[in-house]
Amino acid sequence: MENQSYLVSNKSTFLFEIKKWQQQMFFIFLILICLSGFISPPIALLLGLVVANLAGHPFLHLNHKATTILLQVSVVGLGFGMNVNSALSAGKEGFLFTIASIFSTLTLGFFIGKWFSIEKKTSHLISCGTAICGGSAIAAIAPVIKSDEKQTSVALGVIFILNSVALFLFPAVGHWLHLTQHEFGLWCAIAIHDTSSVVGAANKYGAEALQIATTVKLARALWIIPVALITSYLFKNKKSKIKIPYFIGLFILAMLCNTFVSQTALVAPYLVSIAKTGLTVTLFLIGAGLNWKILKTVGIKPLLQGVLLWGFIAIAALVSIIYLS
């Protein structure tokens, strides 16, 4: 009887390992498809969402670290396709939009959080993620306010859901309104949360939009530092360390090389191509990390706060760009 029980147990373990191996091989196969260049970043994101909720993510414990590294490397690679003079011009124009949108979004987020009776730290993380640069801002602000895992997860869930929508919605709206490459690049840099979705949407719209969007978005990301300092004062937590996005410095260095080092032209197109492929894989992994369990933890009030803030910043930025710039 014991031998029979042992055999049944071994068979179950063996079948489980086979199923796990098949799941891993299937997931790796999908990553290879993303690397092939046959699918666009938005489709890669959608594919990831489908896989997460039907087959599951066999490497979920590595997902956050992988997406962070891939995104940063991809952004640096895109720098080799950009010109410093054009970037400075775009950054200068986006500066006033950035200041106005960040502080108006944070202020509105505070009042919406109060109105909906959303937990204070969760509300602040959603506001910072919407105002600056999505998941990167939340990752930087979370240790400053000492948020717990649930508070951070809810905020990240809200931002990633809206990012996924933005990747499909923004290019469609841009074409519908006949926005120029310049206008669209500026708009999505201000109104889309995460750098990954900003670059994905702008890349779909055109090369000029991609350059403007990436430059303005990364300049915007630097506002993590002053916002984190203000946050530490408001939450009375002056001992917390602030995470500085160092990869932005490498992005600037890549632009300088592309502009002033003539030899860079020999490899720049290949580096940019690799960076765009890396972005496609990044968006696939982001989608694969959004299963129903994570989506259910978000809750209607935090999601509604995120939607209202996103609607505000998207409409206000669009009107300002069309009529005031």
Cα gap 248→254, rounded to integer Å: 10
CB atoms within 10 A of CB 75: 27
Residue 60 lies in a domain: yes
Write the single-letter amino acid at 116: F
Query: What whole-number distance in Å separates Cα of residue 112 and Cα of residue 309?
Result: 9
Examine residue 177 and state whether it is found in any structural domain, yes or no: yes
Residue whose token pair is 């009030």: 301
Phi and psi angles of residue 7, each rounded to the nearest 5 degrees, phi first: -65, -40
Whether 264 is covered by a domain: the verdict is: yes
Q: Look at the chain and report how many structural domains it folds into.
A: 1
Count of CB atoms within 10 A of residue 225's CB? 14
The span from the CA of 136 to the CA of 71, in Å, is: 11
AA letter at 19 = K
| Tokens 């090389």, located at residue | 257
The contacts of residue 311 (CB under 8 Å, 6+ apart) are none
- Rg (the chain; Cα; Å): 21
Per-residue pLDDT of the chain (325 residues; tens, 9 = 90+): 545 554 445 555 655 566 777 888 889 899 999 898 788 877 888 888 888 888 788 888 888 788 888 878 888 888 888 787 777 776 666 677 788 888 899 999 999 999 998 889 899 999 998 988 887 788 778 878 887 767 877 888 888 888 888 988 999 999 999 999 999 999 999 999 888 889 889 988 988 898 888 888 888 877 887 888 888 877 776 565 666 667 778 888 988 898 888 888 889 889 988 988 988 888 888 888 877 776 677 778 898 999 999 999 999 989 988 887 6
Do the domain assignments include residue 223? yes
The answer to whether residue 27 is domain-embedded is no
Query: What is the phi/psi pair of residue 211, to 5°?
Result: -65, -45
- For residue 299, what are the CA distances in angstroms to 153, 228, 303? 11, 26, 6
- Range(s) of the domain holding residue 289: 37-323
Look-up: residue for tokens 């209607």?
Answer: 300
Q: Cα–Cα distance between 235 and 142 in angstroms, integer? A: 11
Q: Is position 18 within any domain?
A: no
- Let me know if residue 11 belongs to a domain: no
Looking up tokens 């951070």 gives 152
* CA 240 – CA 229 distance, rounded (Å): 9
- Whether residue 15 is contained in a domain is answered as no
Q: Confirm if 225 and 128 have CB atoms less than 8 A apart.
A: no
